[in-house]
């Protein structure tokens, strides 16, 4: 693999996608995962062990919660992320244990500090619409790189897309880089993220964009 995606998702949109037992989703961007591109499930024998990350627990629950299943003792989401993505990321020395993988993802999340960057740019959850180009420009101006932004396409009768996920790309040295692939390099990342029948796809630059403040 060539790069890592640090995916943040917007809990309100995640809940909108799935009528699951979402209760009071956090009103800040949380971690979805840290994903090497082009690889999945690299070591099926390396099982998730929650005791390895017990020191990270309070941060994990706060910044990397299982938005869909709100009970606190759920570790299924982290298990899934480790087995699917962490076992692949572990080819890097700085990510080669569960504690390092989850700890480093938390560190990158704090470093990117997406929540405060959006607020500084005046982009906050609202009942009015945003232009996707304005959101992109703010992020690119702030970080100096192009992130990948995913939305829930408009539902029947809606005219706006709903922002759902913002991914930042990192090199193997854990430096921010553009998420766009250089010409000639195809950028096949994991299939678009599905929940039930709804799925996120790359946002359209032309549709008005909804950044919802609570689950409708």
- Choose the catalytic residue: 8, 32, 83, 198: 32
Q: Examine the residue annotation and report whether 47 is marked as an active-site residue of this protein.
A: no
What share of the chain in percent tops pLDDT 90?
A: 76
Least confident residue range of 83-97, 144-158, 177-191: 177-191
Residue with tokens 């062990």: 49
pTM for this predicted structure: 0.92
Select, from the ranges 18-32, 110-124, 168-182, the one with the highest average predicted confidence (pLDDT): 110-124
Contact 5, 207 (CB under 8 A): no
Q: Examine the residue annotation and report whether 80 is marked as an active-site residue of this protein.
A: no
Which domains can be identified in the chain, with CATH numbers? Answer: 4-181+197-211 (3.90.730.10)
Q: Examine the residue annotation and report whether 32 is marked as an active-site residue of this protein.
A: yes
pLDDT digits (tens, 9 = 90+) for 10-47: 999 998 887 666 878 899 999 999 999 989 999 999 99
What six digits make up the tokens of 62? Answer: 């706060």
- Choose the catalytic residue: 9, 83, 85, 167: 85
Asked whether the CA dihedral 51, 56, 57, 60 is positive or negative, the reply is negative
Say what the pLDDT of residue 100 is: 98
For 77, counting Cβ atoms within 10 Å of its Cβ (0-12 exposed, 13-18 middle, 19+ buried), the class is: middle
Say what the pLDDT of residue 20 is: 64
Say what the pLDDT of residue 182 is: 58
Please report which confidence band the pLDDT of residue 188 belongs to, taking 50, 70 and 90 as the band edges: very low
Mean pLDDT of 47-73: 90
What six digits make up the tokens of 2? Answer: 């060539």
Asked whether the CA dihedral 1, 45, 82, 99 is positive or negative, the reply is negative
If you average pLDDT over every residue of the chain, what do you get?
90
């Amino acid at each position: 693999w060539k790069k890592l995606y640090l995916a943040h998702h917007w809990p309100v949109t995640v809940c909108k996608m799935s009528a699951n037992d979402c209760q009071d989703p956090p009103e800040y961007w949380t971690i979805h995962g840290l994903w090497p591109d082009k690889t999945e499930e690299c070591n099926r024998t390396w099982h998730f062990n929650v005791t390895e990350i017990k020191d990270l627990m309070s941060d994990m629950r706060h910044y990397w919660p299982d938005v869909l299943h709100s009970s606190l003792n759920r570790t299924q989401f982290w298990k899934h992320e480790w087995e699917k993505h962490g076992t692949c990321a572990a080819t890097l020395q700085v990510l080669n244990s569960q504690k390092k993988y989850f700890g480093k993802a938390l560190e990158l999340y704090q470093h990117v500090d997406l929540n405060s960057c959006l607020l500084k740019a005046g982009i906050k959850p609202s009942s009015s619409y945003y232009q996707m180009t304005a959101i992109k420009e703010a992020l690119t101006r702030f970080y100096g790189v192009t992130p990948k932004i995913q939305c829930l396409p408009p539902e029947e009768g809606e005219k706006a897309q709903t922002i759902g996920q913002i991914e930042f790309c990192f090199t193997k040295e854990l430096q921010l880089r553009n998420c766009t692939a250089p010409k000639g390099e195809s950028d096949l990342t994991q299939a678009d993220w599905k929940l039930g029948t709804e799925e996120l796809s790359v946002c359209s630059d032309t549709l008005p964009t909804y950044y919802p403040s609570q689950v409708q």
